[in-house]
Amino acid sequence: MNGRVRFIRLRPRDEGGFTLVELMVTLSILGIVVTAFITILFSIQTALVREQSRTNTVDQGRQAIEELDREIRSGNVIYDPANEPLPSIPYYGLRVYTQANAPTRNSGNATCVQYRISGGSLFRRMWTTGSQPSTTWRDVADGIVNYVGVGSANNVPAFQLDTSPNEGGGNTSILGSRVINITLLVNTKTSDTTASTVRLLSSVEIRNQTSGDPCPVTNGT
């Protein structure tokens, strides 16, 4: 080996990577994709929550119809909803003297039960005949939009006696109509009665109709 030293020149390897411009473009595209995904996910979640709320509200309305049905069928006296005094509104309130086997009724005695629609909800109270009406109203169902406001074209009567002669309507020789027609409009958006309103209908006949005024209500009580 001679005394010369060999120098080996090594070529540097190619180094791959992104330029600053490429990185910014990639991040921008990624941001758009993530934003679109989050928007779609939020929309789906909102729709699910809205549908669940709607289902719960409609279920409340149906349960209210079932409760009304049970108490009216077991009633002795049903009052004309057209004559309901305050705090109820005519056609948006109902009174019945009932022997329904409701969990809250007094054992062995018929009970006065009153319903009214107010502020987008259906309320109920009860008391024994001969005593003052209870001042405590129970919220039976929310999202009941039959009564929107005074003079509103969207108002739909909730309670009406059947006026057909076969059911006693217009016939003074019998006690009066034995059938009450019930219409509940259910909407989770109580401020917008045009949005997905569900109409629940029922016609219920009182079984043991008698005369008298066992459940008087003073106007305003």
pLDDT in tens, 80-114: 999 999 899 999 999 999 988 545 544 557 899 99
**For the chain, which residues make up each domain, given as ranges?**
40-205
Candidate ranges 110-114, 121-125, 203-207, 214-218; pick with highest mean pLDDT: 121-125
Which tokens go with 87?
A: 């705090």
User: Does the pLDDT at position 172 exceed 50?
Assistant: no
Give this prediction's pTM. 0.74
Give pLDDT, residue 32: 92
Strand locations in the chain (E)? 75-78, 93-98, 111-118, 121-127, 138-142, 159-161, 179-186, 198-205
